[in-house]
A and B are shown apart, each in its own frame.
Chain A
Amino acid sequence: MDVNLNFIYGHLPYWLFIILMLSGLFIVVSRGNLIKKIVGLNIFQTSVFMFYISIGKMKGGTAPILLDKSADNSAVIYSNPLPHVLILTAIVVGIATTALGLALIIKIREEYDTVEEDDIQKMDQKDLKKYNKKNVLETNS
C-alpha cells in the first residue's frame, strides 16, 4: 500500500494530465453540441501543454535566466526552457484551431440554424434523399 501511494504521489502531474486528457477526449466524443466539442478539444490540448511543462520542471529549479554574469553559475539548477518554447508554439496552433473551429460553427449556424450534430446529420440525410430523388427522376425521364 505504501509503495502504491508513493507511486501515485510521485507521478501526480501525470495523473492530472491523464485525467484532463481523457475528460477532454470524452467531451469531444460524447457531446453533440459543436461548441462543447471545441471546448473538449481545448481541454484535451491543455492537458498536453501541462504534460510538456511538467517534464521540463526540475526540483528546486529556477527560471533559466542568467542573473549574475560574474558569478559561477555552473551549480545553479534551472528548469528546462525548451518545453516552454515548444508549448508556446503549440498554444498558438491551438488558438488558430479554436478560432477556425468557432468560425466554422458560425457558418454552420448560419446555414443550418443549429449547432447540434444530430440535427445537422438529419438535415444532411434529408439533403441526400432530395439529391438522390432528383437523380432517380432524371434517370426515368
Chain B
Amino acid sequence: MKHHLILKVITKFMVGVIVLFGLYVQFHGDYSPGGGFQAGVIIAAAFILYGIVMGLENVQKVMPIWFAQKAAAVGVLVYALTGVFSIIFGFEFLNYHAISPEHPKHGQHYGIILVELGVGITVTFVMIAIYYSFAGRTPRLDDKEW
C-alpha cells in the first residue's frame, strides 16, 4: 500500500473537485454548454478514477453494484415520469408547459432541468456499471507487475 502514494493523495483531492465540476455542468446545462450526458460522464469519471487508484473493492464499498444498476433505472424513470406528468395534466408527452402553465418560460426551465437530471443519473450509473462489469472480470495486476 506504500506504492503510488502521490497518485492516491492526488486522487483523494481530485475526486471531490471532479464531482463538483460534474454537478456544475449538470445544473448549468440549460444556460451554457453541458447537460446530462456530459455531466454523467464527468461524475462517473470520478468514481472510475477512485476505482482505478484505490482498487475495485474500495470503490464498491462506496458505490455497490446493485445500487449502480438500480440508480440507472431510476434515471430513466425520472425522464419518463416527467413526460407522464405532462400527460396527466392534459399536455403532450414531455411538454414542459404542464409544469408551470402560468409561466411557460419557467416551465421550460424546470422541465429541462428535470429531464437532464434523469439523463445525468442514468449516464453516471450506466458508466459506472460498465466499468464494474469490465473491471470485475480480468485478473487485476499485482503491485509487482507494474
Distance in Å: Cβ of A141 to nearest Cβ of chain B: 42
Task: Tell me whether B96 is interfacial, beta carbon within 8 Å.
Answer: no
- In A66-112, which residues have CB < 8 Å from any B CB? 88, 92, 99, 102-103, 106, 110
* Residues on B with beta carbons closer than 8 Å to the beta carbon of A106: 134, 137
| Cross-chain contact B37 with A103 (CB below 8 angstroms) | no
Q: Mark interface residues in B114-141 (1 if CB within 8 Å of A CB, else 0).
A: 0000000000000000100110010000
Interface string of B1-29 (1 = CB under 8 A from A): 00000000000000000000000000000
When the two chains form their complex, are residues A88 and B134 in contact, meaning their CB atoms are under 8 A apart?
no
Residues of B within 8 A of A110 (CB): 137
Residues of B within 8 A of A102 (CB): 134
How far is A137 from B50 in the complex, measured between Cα atoms in Å?
57
In whole angstroms, how far apart are the Cα atoms of A41 and B130 in the complex? Answer: 19
Q: Which of A20-48 contact B (CB under 8 A)?
A: none
B100 vs chain A, min Cβ distance (A): 22
Cα A42 to Cα B96 in complex, Å, equals 36
Instruction: Give chain A residues whose Cβ lies under 8 Å from the Cβ of B37.
Output: 88, 92
Known contacts A88-B37, A92-B37; decide if A99 and B137 are in contact (CB<8 Å).
Answer: no
Chain B residues near A103 (CB-CB < 8 A): 133-134
Docked complex Cα distance between A106 and B37 (Å): 26
Shortest Cβ distance from B99 into chain A, in angstroms?
Answer: 22
Identify the closest chain A residue to B137 (Cβ).
A106
Complex-state Cα separation, A99 to B131, whole angstroms: 10
Distance to closest chain B CB from A63 (angstroms): 9
- Indicate with 1 or 0, residue by residue over A105-134, a CB within 8 angstroms of chain B CB atoms: 010001000000000000000000000000
Tell me the complex Cα distance, A20–B137, Å: 33
* CB of B58, distance to nearest CB on chain A (Å): 23
- In the bound complex, how far is the Cα of B137 from the Cα of A102, in angstroms? 12
The distance from the CB of A31 to the nearest CB of chain B, in whole angstroms, is 21
Question: Which residue, A99, A106, A110, has most C-beta atoms of chain B within 10 A?
Answer: A99
Q: Which residue of A lies closest to B41 (CB)?
A: A95
Measured in the bound complex, the distance between the Cα atoms of B37 and A27 in whole Å is 29
Chain A residues positioned under 8 Å from B134 (CB to CB): 102-103, 106
Chain A residue nearest to B129 in the complex (CB): A99
Q: How far is the CA of A103 from the CA of B131 in the complex (A)?
A: 11
Enumerate chain B interface residues (CB-CB to A < 8 A).
37, 130, 133-134, 137
9 contacts between A and B (CB under 8 A): A88-B37, A92-B37, A99-B130, A102-B134, A103-B133, A103-B134, A106-B134, A106-B137, A110-B137
Closest 3 CB pairs of A and B: A99-B130, A106-B137, A103-B133
- Taking A102-B134, A103-B133, A110-B137 as known contacts, 6 extra A-B pairs with beta carbons closer than 8 A to each other, sorted by chain A number, are A88-B37, A92-B37, A99-B130, A103-B134, A106-B134, A106-B137
